[in-house]
Amino acid sequence: MTLLVGLFFVVAVYLFLSKQIIRILLGVAILGNAVNLLIFTSGRLTREIPPILTNGSAAIVPVTANPLPQALILTAIVISFSFFAFLLVLGFRAYQELETDDTEEMRFAEPADPKLPPLGY
């Protein structure tokens, strides 16, 4: 699992270094999955009983699953999906306005000699 997390991070960084917006966005999605998998593996991958108290017990059995990493992953999945959807819409809107998905060409879409704001009042 550790090698898979490392592979996800490497692929995400490789995609971040691309010039196309869609590859950068895929890198964001893979980075989110890598972080989720990292949290999941740090929460100890063992088959343990759920932390539920029965009617007759006063305390939880010492060998129980940790629910915190699971809750963090569920929250992170929702947040990363909404962030990815927002970035997709933003990238598509930029593609519609600039008619390119190349970041180098997007840089030259700004005016070359913008008017300066007034310096004195």
- Digit-coded pLDDT (tens) for 45-55: 666 667 676 77
Say if 34 falls within a structural domain: yes
- CATH code for position 22: 1.10.287
CA distances from 36 to 8, 44, 45, 71, 91 (A): 11, 13, 13, 11, 24
Average pLDDT over residues 20-31: 94
The yes-or-no verdict on residue 121 having pLDDT over 90 is no
CB-based contact 51:60 (threshold 8 Å): yes
The answer to whether residue 12 is domain-embedded is yes
| pLDDT computed for residue 45 by the predictor | 64
**Boundaries of domain holding 73:** 2-45+65-103
| Within a domain: 77 | yes
Residue 53 placed within a domain: no
Total of domains in the chain:
1
What's the mean pLDDT in 88-97? 91
Residue 24 lies in a domain: yes
**Nearest in space to 109 (alpha carbons), one of 92, 96, 90:** 96
Q: Is residue 96 part of a domain?
A: yes
Q: Please, what is the average pLDDT of the chain?
A: 84
